[in-house]
Amino acid sequence: FPEMVSNPKLVVVQGTLNVVMKQNVILSCLYEPGSPPVRYTLFKHNQQVSALNRSDLSPALFTLTISSASDVGEYKCKAEHNNSSGGKYSNSLNFTLIEPISKPVLSSPTSQAKKGQNVTLSCFSENGSLPITYLFFKGTQNISPQKTMQKREAAVIFLFMNSLSDFGTYKCKANNSFPNNTKYSNGFNFTLAEERSHSQPLIISLGLILLLLIIGFALAIPFFLIPLYKASE
């Protein structure tokens, strides 16, 4: 058999490198300048997965089923002539398992605010493959550009409670590369905090002063009455 002078090519012909559980992926391995027969062997991390013989110039097709996390990782194929030593290895393909996101949690340090106050909202999905994209809503209207987080951390927005229309129910949604996996948070409500009247502290102070005067007057009465009683005897 002639010596192999180039490397075979390994490509994905069905599926993508980002895979989900129970997904089927088909890989094609082909040594283009070779003369048949050719034996193709698929490896995962240097462990043989499967082998096929081709007596013509057609590629070897390997079907993978992603049934567990151990099925992802780096794959290569080797092409060699039957009954010959040596052979050539292909490029590597690295599969990554993507996981669905969990329902995001929308939170804020406070649920009550005054008009003219700044508040924050944070949205966070604890589970799911990164990156995760978040979007914030008030009612059905989105209120911020989408935020894509490359790390496992919350997306945060700042709100200025300018008018009564800024109070009410907010939500956020999250999604990642997992197909058809958009999740919405529960609603979070901002309510208008009751503002104390400026006259309230003054009224309370005057009431306390009046109460102290009444108590003082009541305590002073015996000191006035006892001398008068003795003088009249």
What is the domain partition of the chain in residue ranges? Answer: 9-97, 105-192
Distance between CA atoms of residues 3 and 84, nearest Å: 9
Q: How long, in residues, is the chain?
A: 233
pTM score: 0.64
The overall average pLDDT reported for the chain is 87
Q: What confidence tens digit (pLDDT) does each residue in 156-197 have?
A: 999 999 888 888 899 999 999 998 899 999 999 998 887 555
Distance between CA atoms of residues 188 and 171, nearest Å: 6
């944070």: which residue's tokens? 122
- CATH architecture type of domain 9-97: Sandwich (2.60)
Whether the per-residue pLDDT at 217 is higher than 80: the answer is no
What pLDDT is stored for residue 49 in this prediction? 95
DSSP 164: G
- Of the chain, the end-to-end C-alpha distance in Å amounts to 146
The answer to whether 9-97 and 105-192 have equal CATH topology is: yes
CATH superfamily of this structure's domain 105-192? Immunoglobulins (2.60.40.10)
Distance between CA atoms of residues 126 and 128, nearest Å: 7
